[in-house]
Amino acid sequence: MTDHSSYRLLLLFLLLSPCLLMAQVKGVGNVTNVNINGQQVDITTDNAHALVTVYNANVVRVRIDKQALAPDFSYAVIAQPQTTKANITQDASSISISTDSLKVQISKTPFAVTFYTKDGEVISQDEAGLTTSWVNESVTTYKKMQDGERFIGLGEKTGPLDRKGNGYTNWNTDAFGYSTGQDPIYSTIPFYIGIHHNISYGIFLDNTYQTDFNFGASNNRFSSFGARGGEMNYYLIYHKYVADIITAYTALTGRMKMPPLWSLGYQQNRYSYYPETEVFRIAQTLREKKIPADGITLDIHYMDHYKVFTWDQNRFPNPKAMTDKLKDMGFKLTVIVDPGVKIEKGYGVYERGLANDIFAKYPDGTNYSGEVWPGWCHFPDFTNPKARAWWGTEMKKYGDDGISGIWNDMNEIATWGQKIPDNVLFNYDGRMASHLQTHNVYAMQMARASFEGAQKAFNKRPFVLTRAGYAGFQRYSAIWTGDNRAEDSHMLAGVRLLNSLGVSGVAFTGMDIGGFTGNPTPSLFARWMQIGAFNPYFRNHTAVNTKSAEPWTFGEEVLEISRNYVSLRYKLLPYLYSSFYEATQSGLPLMRTLAIDYTFDKNVYDGQFDTQYLFGSAFLVAPFEGDAKFGKVYFPKGKWYDLYSGEVQNGGEQRIIQLSQRKLPVYVKQSSIIPMQSLVQSTSQKPDDILTVHIYQGDVNNSFVYYEDDGESYNYENGAFYKRAIVYDAAHKTITFGKVDGSFASKFNNIKLVMHGFANTSVKINGKQANLNDDFSVLLSPLSKFDPQGSENATEGEKVKSIIVKNDSGQITLAY
């Protein structure tokens, strides 16, 4: 070949290269056909099919695929589109959709979507020139990054509160001893909230393949979200407030049911407590040391050679007698379950699994085998309804044995080697799918099987815990953040993880208090126990081959600190239980990043303050390292009371405070309403009959929905609950206890009001004037019959009781 010929070939290659490269990336292309049908727009483009659906006035769904869209199916979304007033029109260049809350414009050349407020401000828009495209089977939507845009959420993700500048992958991973910046870890929640220009919106990408999110990582042009297979399928949620976005997201994906009351108490665990004499020693010591507690958890050593649904008969010869004795002591037992079923002839669980044909399979029909704790195992296909029912049947033994909680572990799926073949097939509720599509949803369906099975086997509300999950798992299970480390940085990273899970629709969350791997210092353990008292799920847990990490193992001072904060939590149970009720109704979490209530305050995203959070609506918690001597706290707008001294701090300020190992910095928001009870040693012990309601003076109105039920059954679903609103009107200085809703009789016969910051003033309590210069009594009938209009007339045969409402000094001491 001559040099001249070589030159011509090189020139031809250079000219064709852009076309060859473009062939590797296939965009949606131009719109070629539009069919408007009610609240839906069916769109055909050069390279794809799209369906845009108005789900309700605030939620719009976008589906795009290279071929015809498959029949709709989701493990996450349980809501159906609502009949909504939607005006949909088109012209030569675009399609316009308008609801009472937002507008959508879809350009036709090329297909691109922009969401606007009703006032025409951009909420979210496709990045021009990129929009949505495929690289092989991976599909990605690119959004223009708005000036100053922030991103929060994505569930169990390490890193800062504001995820701007970072990228994340969702692929459920057994991440033993993970670093504070490691990604991915255990669970997948492909939902985030974007924040810019006083606008907030949510994006939920409902796709169970590996998904990837980029919030300006390695680029300064776009944010993006995409999946390694399947269709582009996302929901845009627009509301003015972040709290309303969380409520809308959980309306789509579901909310938790009321948990059993005992599960809100302190849980003692380690890997592992055995034999049963050790379990009783731990239980007895908790009682002797006056550390309130409700639960003990057994890790894998309770099983016969790690085989699920078995007991080691030498270590635990009579499980039912053990759980009965523990219940007499006020303890419920939770046991771990792993998905792997040991391949062993004669092992009943394995034999019944084979007979029912419920295991995941290779394409040739043979059962997939992987190695884990028991040895070589098969794995139930929890995406198969038949397998979920089988699992529930196997759980009957645990119900017969008196078990109260089920802890789902190793369900990412974890196997030795951490590489389940891509071609393992799953039923996917009759749709058949490979491991690539099933991996991220497997744990959620295991939690579902455990929840549904335990409901029948236990005949009471079960407590279900999972290590991994997918969006919507909050319907079935609580979650903890896996195998963390006994390090200060991990303690604070855990706070961010729980806050991120909360903003992502998961209210019942916790972490291993004290750290799972390694040995905490006494100061770290004390601080972690304090923070744990302000976590939704409060479990102490440490690994095998570590030092014992029960509160009494760190010396008398740490024991006293731990006892004080666990005791405070138990006195707060009426507040906690009512806050969980709120989560079942609105999806709002107990642990609330400050970004929920103070979304556009730049200080809450500052790395100095992004671990601060609200616990429920009242408490501001400021975590710090165990041995820190000083710390800086940011107080958002408003007025804040020091929990311990009653000192008032104005909002909008930063303050350096002196830290003490004995006290976790906690503050109370102005106008807060906090119901508390007398100290008990477990939830099986009845408190005294006075509900103490703390009310903090403030300049803003507030209300609190107080809630009770029996704490263990589902009778509340049929009206057997006790609910009433407590309302504080700041301008008129009135406190009103609303009418009781529900048929359940409260455990408290009396109310005691404790007023903070009301000195030298007067208030009206259900219409009765009270001068707070002195102690005073307000005559009220029992709480269950209290007339919201202030009438003192008791029903026939009812004894009228008096309640002392005191103008106290604002002191709350932790010396219980």
Q: Which residues are catalytic?
A: 409, 412, 483
Query: Which two three-digit tokens encode residue 526?
Result: 């004390």
Q: What is the CA radius of gyration of the chain?
A: 28
579 prior amide bond cis, ω within 30: no
343 prior amide bond cis, ω within 30: no
To which residue do tokens 């707008």 refer?
637
Query: Which two three-digit tokens encode residue 566?
Result: 């666990």
Are 81 and 251 in contact by the 8 Å Cβ rule? The answer is no
Are 617 and 669 in contact by the 8 Å Cβ rule? The answer is yes
3-state secondary structure of 216: coil
| Biggest CA pair distance of the chain | 114
Strand partners, 226: 140, 212
- Pair type for strands 59-65 and 87-90: unpaired
**Nearest one of 385, 479, 382, 392 to 430, comparing CA atoms:** 385
CA atoms within a 13 Å half-sphere pointing along the CA-CB vector of 657? 21
The span from the CA of 715 to the CA of 711, in Å, is 10
Query: Which two three-digit tokens encode residue 786?
Result: 């209290």
Query: Which two three-digit tokens encode residue 588?
Result: 């709002």
Are 192 and 473 in contact by the 8 Å Cβ rule? The answer is no
The span from the CA of 441 to the CA of 439, in Å, is 6
Query: Which two three-digit tokens encode residue 282?
Result: 């731990």
Are 192 and 26 in contact by the 8 Å Cβ rule? The answer is no
**Nearest one of 598, 724, 742, 597 to 673, comparing CA atoms:** 724
3-state secondary structure of 371: strand
What own/partner pairs with CB < 8 Å and gap ≥ 24 does 39-42 have? 39/81, 39/83, 39/84, 39/86, 39/88, 41/88, 41/95, 41/97, 41/106
Are 413 and 426 in contact by the 8 Å Cβ rule? The answer is no
The span from the CA of 132 to the CA of 768, in Å, is 64
Query: Which two three-digit tokens encode residue 154?
Result: 């994505």
